[in-house]
């Protein structure tokens, strides 16, 4: 969630949320090479709780949640498919 999504939501016809499952998030955080945020237990728990809240928040607002654990090609294809159908 961003601090001003209520202010800008009406500008968009469709909102996509790229989401990953807990296992994928844990793996990606544990294998980061650019910095270590999310590797400490309290940071990881914060991020996992935030991930679940984000998905629920945006689903409740009608956003289309895309599984971003898939390959980039599949993610893009899903976004384009929703864009073409308007759903």
The candidate with the shortest Cα–Cα distance to 63, out of 72, 54, 73, 50, is: 54
Q: What is the pTM of this model?
A: 0.75
CB atoms near residue 63 (< 10 Å)? 19
Name the residue with tokens 């935030």: 50
The arithmetic mean of pLDDT across residues 7-14, rounded, is: 89
Categorize the per-residue pLDDT at 54 as very low, low, confident or very high, splitting at 50, 70 and 90. confident
The arithmetic mean of pLDDT across residues 40-57, rounded, is: 89
Categorize the per-residue pLDDT at 3 as very low, low, confident or very high, splitting at 50, 70 and 90. confident
H helical segments located in 1-87 = 5-8, 22-30, 41-60, 72-85
What is the rounded end-to-end Cα distance, in angstroms, of the chain? 22
- Whole-number pLDDT of residue 86: 58
């Amino acid at each position: 969630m961003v601090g001003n999504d209520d202010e800008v939501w009406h500008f968009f016809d469709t909102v996509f949320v790229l989401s990953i499952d807990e296992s994928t998030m844990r793996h990606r955080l544990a294998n980061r090479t650019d910095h270590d945020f999310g590797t400490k237990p309290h940071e990881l728990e914060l991020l996992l709780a935030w991930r679940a809240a984000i998905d629920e928040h945006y689903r409740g607002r009608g956003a289309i949640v895309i599984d971003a654990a898939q390959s980039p090609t599949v993610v893009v294809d899903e976004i384009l498919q929703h864009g073409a159908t308007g759903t």
